[in-house]
């Protein structure tokens, strides 16, 4: 059965349980093309698990997950989904520590290549330009030869966002991008994401409410695996239940 929607991402009645514990409970969420969405919610609400389901890491017990209209994501694995155009930044920044900043970006743009082209291929002019662009966007051009392990926590977060851009996805899933960042870095990251959102669909998970306010987009609050409230931030943050379970902590 084919489902045709006009949305970038379409989750309907999705559930997944770990040893009987329902981490995601009848979750529905729709993201339109070009939309940026902020997801908030208390620890353990299922935000990361939702990304696991979208990216093929976790298979839902129930429900449907469609990408780009009619692609049933539950039938594919991580690599296939990544190649289709979904990029993901992990909650704990994950970069290739023993490679230079530049090589991290380079490796992120060759995910669809065969072993032999990886062995024999040379860096093309186009790739060089693209690397320069991305490094400028994430403001790491001064550190391009630095080993990733020597970067600060915030710089690693940016590098990982740069790696997603290099992947050239249609949809970016970004899990807690400003954790461990200074205030200045946080402001800078919001600017960066707004920039990215001009040309990509984006889902951002974050606890930092100032940052979420800065993004100025529709907000979804998750709680116990389902949507508690959705809408503009003022609307969501005025919601009694949201204040009870999350904001009023």
Partner 1 sequence: MNTGFIRTIGRVNFIAILIILALAVAVPYGNLVAPPTSLVYVPDYMVALLGKFLTYAMLAVSLNLVWGYGGILSLGHGAFFALGGYVMGMYLMRQIGDRGVYSNPILPDFMVFLNWKELPWFWWGFDQFWFAALMIVLVPGLLAFVFGWFAFRSRVSGVYLSIITQAMTYALLLAFFRNDMGFGGNNGLTDFKDILGFNLQSQETRATLFALSAVFLAGFLLLVAWITTSRYGKLLVATRDAESRTRFLGYRPERVKLFVWTLSAMMAGIAGALYVPQIGIINPGEFAPANSIEVVIWAAVGGRGTILGPVVGAFLVNGGKSWFTGLFPEFWLFVLGALFVLTTLYLPKGIIGTVKGFWQARNARKQSQKDADVPKDTSRPATVEAPAE
Q: Summarize as ranges the residues that interact with Mg ion (CB under 5 A).
A: 47-48, 91
Q: Report the residue from 7, 12, 44, 147 that binds ligand ATP according to the rule CB under 6 A.
A: 44
Whether the Cβ atoms of residue 246 and residue 222 lie closer than 8 Å to each other = no
CB of 26 closer than 8 Å to CB of 231: no
47 near ligand ATP (CB under 6 A): yes
Residue 43 interaction partner, one of Mg ion, ligand ATP, partner 1, none, beta carbon < 5-8 Å per kind:
ligand ATP
Nearer to partner 1, 163 or 181 (CB): 163
CA-based radius of gyration for the chain:
18
Q: Are 24 and 1 in contact (CB under 8 A)?
A: no
Tokens representing 122 are: 């040379």
DSSP annotation string for 113-130: --HHHHHH----HHHHHH
Name which of 46 and 169 has its Cβ closer to ligand ATP: 46
Tokens matching residue 6: 């006009």
Kindly tell me which of 37 and 47 has the beta carbon lying closer to ligand ATP.
47
Map the footprint of ligand ATP across residues 79-138, applying CB under 6 A: 91
Binding mask 11-30 for ligand ATP (x = CB under 6 A): -------x----x-------
State the DSSP string of 160-223.
Answer: HHHHHHHH--SEEEEE-TTTT--HHHHHHHHHHHHHHHTTSEEEEE-S-HHHHHHHTSEEEEEE
CB closer to partner 1, 26 vs 100:
100
CA distance 190 to 39: 14
Q: Which is nearer to ligand ATP, 46 or 154 (CB)?
A: 46
- Span interacting with ligand ATP, options 40-48, 101-109, 185-193, 210-218, rule CB under 6 A: 40-48
Helix axes 153-167, 183-197, angle to 10 degrees: 10
From the list Mg ion, partner 1, ligand ATP, none, partner contacted by residue 107 (C-beta under 5 to 8 A by kind): partner 1
Question: Which residues are near partner 1 by CB under 8 A?
Answer: 55, 57, 78-79, 82-83, 87-88, 90, 94-99, 103, 106-108, 110-113, 115, 118-121, 123, 145, 163, 167
Least distance in angstroms from the C-beta of 53 to Mg ion: 13
Residues at the contact surface with ligand ATP, assessed by CB under 6 A: 18, 23, 41, 43-49, 91
């Amino acid at each position: 059965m084919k489902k045709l929607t006009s949305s970038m991402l379409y989750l309907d009645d999705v559930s997944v349980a770990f040893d009987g514990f329902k981490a995601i409970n009848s979750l529905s969420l729709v993201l339109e093309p070009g939309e940026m969405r902020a997801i908030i919610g208390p620890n353990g609400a299922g935000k990361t698990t939702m990304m696991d389901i979208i990216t093929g890491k976790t298979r839902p017990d129930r429900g449907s997950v469609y990408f780009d209209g009619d692609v049933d994501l539950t039938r594919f694995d991580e690599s296939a989904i990544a190649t289709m155009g979904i990029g993901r930044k992990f909650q704990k920044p994950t970069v290739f520590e023993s490679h230079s900043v530049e090589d991290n970006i380079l490796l992120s743009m060759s995910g669809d290549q065969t072993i032999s082209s990886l062995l024999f291929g040379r860096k093309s002019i186009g790739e060089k330009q693209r690397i320069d662009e991305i490094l400028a966007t994430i403001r790491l051009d001064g550190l391009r030869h630095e080993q990733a392990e020597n970067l600060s926590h915030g710089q690693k977060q940016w590098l990982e966002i740069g790696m997603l851009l290099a992947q050239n996805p249609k949809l970016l899933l970004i899990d807690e991008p400003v954790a461990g960042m200074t205030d200045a870095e946080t402001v800078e990251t919001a600017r960066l994401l707004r920039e990215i959102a001009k040309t990509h669909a984006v889902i951002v998970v974050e606890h930092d409410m100032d940052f979420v306010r800065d993004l100025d987009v529709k907000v979804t609050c998750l709680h116990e695996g389902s949507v508690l409230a959705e809408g503009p931030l003022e609307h969501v943050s005025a919601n009694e239940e949201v204040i009870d379970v999350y904001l009023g902590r």
